[in-house]
């Protein structure tokens, strides 16, 4: 019988991280972006319904994504539109994220966090989001939600002039990302 390990971030580690954030405001992470992706797997009417639904859920026009290669078993051709996605920032990102976390019960697995301050989770059905009702004309769609955290100063890595790299000591660790979600958003990390 296989035992599942339950993750628990030690209180001492969390307190050290929070103390470090309090001593230097440049170290406290913030939400950079929230990416919502609906992989449909086919083009046509179903993709248009998913695009319309994603626009209603996020309040932003989604981008259509095309297949990178042909997969005969699934009937997908290279260049065929098969998915829709939206990148949300600032207030829209926070509003959608609160609804998405409510849909999953404010629980995220520790294994969903990576070593660079990113976390991803899936929502099986869009009707799990609060305030969304089932519409038989639209159907049911699942979605993937990816969140990127960053610290102030990450602009150095993205700007056009005098671009530079961010040292490892300024990157967000897995424990820091988990602490941010626990303290700021009230998420239970398992």
Residues paired with 107 in a beta bridge: 188
Name, in order, each residue with C-beta under 8 angstroms of 96's C-beta and a sequence gap of 6 or more. Answer: 34, 36, 57, 58, 88
Which pLDDT score is estimated for 88?
92
* pLDDT score, position 5: 47
**pTM attached to this predicted model:** 0.83
pLDDT at 41: 77
Per-residue confidence (pLDDT) for residue 8, from 0 to 100:
60
Q: How far is CA 93 from CA 73, 157, 175, in A?
A: 36, 22, 22
According to the model, what pLDDT value does residue 86 have? Answer: 93
Fold of 28-189: 50s Ribosomal Protein L5; Chain: A, (3.30.1440)
What 3-state class would DSSP assign to 143?
A: strand
As given in the structure block, the two tokens for residue 166 are 């961010």
Asked whether the beta carbons of 34 and 88 are under 8 A apart, the reply is: yes
Q: Per-residue DSSP letters for 41-67?
A: SS-SHHHHHHHHHHHHHHSSPPEEEE-
Distance between CA 78 and CA 70 in Å, rounded?
5
**What is the predicted pLDDT for the residue at 9?**
62
The domain limits of the chain are: 28-189
b/e string for 143-158 if b means 16 or more Cβ within 10 A?
bebbbbbbbeebeeee
Instruction: Enumerate residue ranges in the chain where pLDDT < 50.
Output: 1-6
Find how far residue 35's CA is from the centre of its chain. Answer: 5
Nearest to 83 by CA among 110, 64, 108: 64
């Amino acid at each position: 019988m296989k035992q599942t390990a339950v993750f628990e971030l030690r209180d001492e580690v969390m307190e050290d991280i929070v103390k470090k954030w309090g001593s230097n405001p440049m170290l406290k992470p913030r939400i950079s972006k929230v990416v919502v992706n609906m992989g449909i797997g086919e083009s046509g009417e179903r993709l248009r319904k998913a695009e319309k639904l994603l626009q209603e859920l996020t309040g932003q026009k989604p981008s259509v994504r095309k297949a990178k290669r042909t997969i005969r078993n699934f009937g997908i051709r290279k260049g065929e539109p098969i998915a829709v996605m939206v990148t949300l920032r600032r207030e829209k990102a926070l509003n959608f994220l609160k609804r998405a976390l409510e849909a999953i019960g404010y629980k995220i697995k520790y294994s969903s966090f990576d070593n660079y301050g990113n976390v991803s989770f899936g929502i099986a059905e869009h009707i799990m989001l609060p305030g969304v009702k089932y519409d038989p004309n639209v159907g049911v769609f699942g979605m993937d939600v990816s969140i990127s955290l960053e610290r102030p100063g990450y602009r150095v890595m993205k700007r056009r002039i005098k671009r530079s790299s961010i040292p490892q000591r300024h990157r967000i660790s897995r424990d820091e990302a988990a602490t941010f979600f626990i303290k700021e958003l009230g998420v239970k990390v398992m």
